[in-house]
Structure 1
Amino acid sequence: MKIIGITGRSGCGKSSATNFLARQGYPCIDADRIARDVLLPGSPCLEKLQAYFGQDILEADGTLKRRLLADRAFATPEGTRVLTEITQPEILRRIEERLRQAQASGAGMAFVDGAVIVGTPFESRCDALVLITAPYETSVQRICARDGISPEMARRRLDAQTSLDTLRAAATIEIVNDGTAEQLENKVEAYLESLGKEEHG
Structure 2
Amino acid sequence: MMTVAITGRSGCGKSTVTECFVSRGIPTVDADQLSRQILQPGSPVLEKLAERFGPDILEDGVLNRRLLADRAFATPEGKQALDAITHPAIVEGIQAAGRAARQAGSPLFVIDGAVLVGSALDGAWDRLVVVAAPYETSVQRIVLRDGIRPEMARRRLDAQLPEARLRARADVVLENDGTRDQLRQKAEALVDQLLAQAKGGAVERI
TM-score, normalised to structure 1, is 0.83
Q: Secondary structure at the match of 1:191?
A: helix
Q: Distance in 2 between matches of 1:124 and 1:74?
A: 26
User: How do 1:19-58 and structure 2 match up within 5 A?
Assistant: 19-50=19-50, 57-58=57-58
Q: Give the residue type in structure 2 aligned to 1:24.
A: R
Query: Counterpart of 1:182?
Result: 181
Query: Counterpart of 1:145?
Result: 144
Q: Distance in 2 between matches of 1:13 and 1:168?
A: 15
Q: Give the residue type in structure 2 aligned to 1:42.
A: G
Indicate how the Cα distance of structure 1 residues 162 and 68 shifts in structure 2: closer, same or farther if over 3 A, else same. Answer: farther
Higher gyration radius (CA): 2
Query: Counterpart of 1:97?
Result: 96
Aligned length: 200
Indicate how the Cα distance of structure 1 residues 62 and 22 shifts in structure 2: closer, same or farther if over 3 A, else same. Answer: same
Q: Give the residue type in structure 2 aligned to 1:2.
A: M
RMSD: 2.7
Q: Give the residue type in structure 1 aligned to 2:91.
A: L
The answer (yes or no) to whether the contact 1:17–1:184 under 8 Å persists in 2 is yes
Q: Secondary structure at the match of 1:190?
A: helix
The answer (yes or no) to whether the contact 2:21–2:191 under 8 Å persists in 1 is no
Unmatched 5+ residue regions in structure 2?
Answer: none
Q: Distance in 2 between matches of 1:27 and 1:182?
A: 23
Report which stretch shifted further, 99-108 or 116-125.
116-125
Query: Counterpart of 2:161?
Result: 162
Q: Secondary structure at the match of 2:63?
A: coil
Q: Give the residue type in structure 2 aligned to 1:5.
A: A
Report which stretch shifted further, 68-77 or 90-99.
68-77
Q: Distance in 1 between matches of 2:136 and 2:34?
A: 27
Report which stretch shifted further, 104-113 or 34-43.
34-43
Query: Counterpart of 1:120?
Result: 119
Q: Residues 73-107 of structure 1, C-alpha deviation per residue, up to 9 Å, x if partnerless?
A: 66877665554333211100100011111111110
User: How do 1:71-110 and structure 2 match up within 5 A?
Assistant: 81-110=80-109
Q: Distance in 1 between matches of 2:3 and 2:49?
A: 30
Indicate how the Cα distance of structure 1 residues 69 and 154 shifts in structure 2: closer, same or farther if over 3 A, else same. Answer: farther
Q: Distance in 1 between matches of 2:75 and 2:135?
A: 22
The answer (yes or no) to whether the contact 2:11–2:139 under 8 Å persists in 1 is yes
Q: Give the residue type in structure 2 aligned to 1:178.
A: D
The answer (yes or no) to whether the contact 1:11–1:139 under 8 Å persists in 2 is yes
Q: Distance in 2 between matches of 1:148 and 1:56?
A: 32
Q: Distance in 2 between matches of 1:55 and 1:102?
A: 38
Q: Give the residue type in structure 2 aligned to 1:15.
A: S
Q: Distance in 2 between matches of 1:182 and 1:148?
A: 23
Work out the percentage of aligned pairs sharing the same amino acid.
53
Q: Distance in 1 between matches of 2:22 and 2:139?
A: 26
Q: Distance in 2 between matches of 1:149 and 1:165?
A: 25
Q: Distance in 2 between matches of 1:31 and 1:24?
A: 20
Report which stretch shifted further, 148-157 or 184-193.
148-157
Unmatched 5+ residue regions in structure 1?
Answer: none
